Amino acid sequence: MQLGLVGLGKMGFNMRERIRRAGHEVVGYDRNPEVTDASSLADLVDKLEAPRVVWVMVPAGDITRQTIADLGELLAPGDLVIDGGNSRYTDDKVNAELLAGKEIGYLDTGVSGGVWGLDNGYGLMVGGAAEDVEKAMPIFDALRPEGPREEGFAHAGQVGAGHFAKMIHNGIEYGLMQAYAEGFELLEASKLVENVPATIKAWQRGTVVRSWLLDLLVRALDSDPELDDLRGHVEDSGEGRWTVEEAINLAVPAPVISAALFARFASRQDDSPAMRAVASLRNQFGGHAVQAAGPTSGSGSTQS
Ligand SMILES: O=C(CO)[C@H](O)[C@H](O)COP(=O)(O)O
């Protein structure tokens, strides 16, 4: 089968390679001239035979929305667009309606696997019409991990369901990472466990907490046993926030995912105004000691 692939960054570049390895023809387009197969989006569309399938793998938000709108102008009735980025699921209805007006199909697809997907395959969760899913199935089969289809691929529901599933997947990812991280800090803080990396490594087999994220933590500790080559500053790309917003909308308690999201926000603060307020209030009501502000956090002297 032939596929157009827009966006050849960290994810798209490896996906093109994996799809080619499965014997399909991929025409990729990226603004980076070193990796692109087409000179423009219009050239990509020209290089494909109708009915075309074009997979969009560019950063979520305005860039994805604009790329899909541009494709709507270039493609023809009977073509199909797949958004494989981490778009918010609420964008999917808008994209699908825009394209449906031009008789172009639309699928939203959550893709998990990161930079390891080239060899391991990608977990896929798809939203959209069954006939469109069927059209793209050779590509989904090329991308998903080897083994039974249902263990690496789900047609999750109608338009939006794929990105909704990926949003929840990423929320779970936040919670799991935070739990491993807190366990790591607790092991480090206690002087009882003498070899923290070796202890965590031993959890890789047989234990209840073994997982791929744990394997990746072991890999990180192999090269930096105390993780002191980097700062504990953690960004987020939106899916954790959307998961928490959805939990509020649905009145579903999600304390672990929320705490993991807020831990990321806390990681970006050197000296938190909120904790200055708490220290100040303890001092007000109980005369408890506070530290005077110093040139760097934690270096202040104690005052009662
Ligand atoms: O989808 C992913 C993994 O599944 C991406 O790596 C995503 O960027 C991770 O989310 P965040 O940047 O918010 O940590």
Per-residue pLDDT reduced to its tens digit, 13-38:
999 999 999 999 999 999 999 999 99
Q: What is the pLDDT of residues 158-170, one digit of tens each?
A: 999 999 999 999 9
Sign of CA dihedral 167, 169, 172, 174: negative
pLDDT, the chain, mean:
96
β-strand 123-127 against 290-291: which pairing, if any? unpaired
pTM: 0.95
Q: Which stretch of 21-30, 129-138, 185-194, 291-300 has the lowest confidence by average pLDDT?
A: 291-300
Query: Per-residue pLDDT for 93 more than 60?
Result: yes
**Which residues on adjacent β-strands are paired with residue 6?**
29, 56
Say what the pLDDT of residue 294 is: 79
The atom of ligand 1 lying closest to the CA of 238 is 13
d(CA 55, CA 87): 13
Q: Write the single-letter amino acid at 47.
A: K
- Considering only CA atoms, which residue is closest to atom 8 of ligand 1? 237
Instruction: Select from 237, 241, 242, 245 the residue to mutate for testing ligand 1; criterion: most ligand atoms less than 8 Å from CB.
Output: 237
Ligand 1 within 6 A of 14 CB?
no
d(CA 162, CA 89): 8
User: pLDDT over 90 for what percent of the chain?
Assistant: 96
Catalytic residues: 166, 173
d(CA 54, CA 44): 9
Count CB atoms within 10 A of the CB of residue 224.
11
The atom of ligand 1 lying closest to the CA of 170 is 4
Q: What is the pLDDT of residues 241-274, one digit of tens each?
A: 999 999 999 999 999 999 999 999 999 999 999 9
Cα(88) to centroid(ligand 1), Å? 13
Query: Per-residue pLDDT for 296 more than 70?
Result: no
Query: Per-residue pLDDT for 149 more than 50?
Result: yes
Q: What is the band of 299 on the pLDDT scale with cuts at 50, 70, 90? A: very low
Query: Per-residue pLDDT for 110 more than 80?
Result: yes
Nearest to 69 by CA among 79, 81, 77: 81
ipTM of the shown complex: 0.98
d(CA 154, CA 165): 10
Instruction: Select from 83, 169, 170, 172 the residue to mutate for testing ligand 1; criterion: most ligand atoms less than 8 Å from CB.
Output: 170
Say what the pLDDT of residue 187 is: 98
Say what the pLDDT of residue 304 is: 64
d(CA 54, CA 52): 6
